[in-house]
Amino acid sequence: YSQLIKQENLRMKKQVENVLNMSKLERNEMKLFLKTANVRQLIKDIAASFRLIVEERGGKITEKLDAEKYTFKVDEFHLSNALVNLLDNANKYSPEHPDITITTRNEGNYYVVEIADKGMGMAAENRNKIFEKFFREETGNIHNVKGQGLGLSYVKKIVELHHGQILVDSIKDKGSTFTIKLPMNV
C-alpha cells in the first residue's frame, strides 16, 4: 500500500505542476533558464529512473543514443519534465509489458529525440488534437489512464520555447512515436 500511496502522491504532484506551468505558459510568464548541458546524460538519467517503473510492469526501455553531438543550451528542468511526460505516456498507454525505445541522432544542426512505444496508438484524426490543452483521446474501458490532458500541451510549449518542434506518428493499436527536434545553436 505504501508504494501505491507514493505513486499517487507523485502523480498528483505532477498534475499540480502541469496546471501551474500551463498557467505560466499561457500568460507568457515562463522563462527558460538555458545553460550548456549534456543532453545525452540527461536522457540516460531520466531513462534510468523511469526504467524501474516500466520493469515493474514487466516491460523494458531500450536506449539507442546515437547522436554524436549532444552538448548544447537547454533548460534542464523543463526539458526533463517534457521527456518524463512523454515516457510516462508511453508507459501509461502501453499494455502490460511496455516496450519503449528512446533514440537520439543529429540531423544537421538539430538534436533529435524519439520516444517510441508499442502501445495503444491513436486514431489519425486525433493526432493534431493531442497537443491541445485538455484533449484526451477516448480509450474506452480497455485502459484506465489517469490525467487531465495537459501533459502534451506542456511538452509542445516547452519544445517551442527551445525553438524546436515536436511531431507524432501513431497507428491505432500499434503504437506511437514522438519526435522532438531541438536546434543546437540557439
Q: pLDDT tens, 134-147? A: 545 555 444 444 44
Q: Please name each of the domains of the chain with its CATH number.
A: 2-183 (3.30.565.10)
Cell triple for 95: 499494455
Say if residue 8's pLDDT is above 80. no
Tens-digit pLDDT profile for residues 35-65 = 999 999 999 999 998 888 899 899 999 999 9
d(CA 112, CA 67): 8
Question: 103: helix, coil or strand?
Answer: strand
Instruction: Yes or no: say if 58 and 96 are a contact pair by the CB < 8 Å rule.
Output: yes
pLDDT per residue as tens digits for the range 141-169: 444 444 444 578 889 989 999 999 999 99
* Closest listed residue to residue 30, CA positions, set 39, 38, 40, 20: 20
pTM above 0.85, yes or no: no
Alpha-carbon span 64 to 124, nearest angstrom: 27
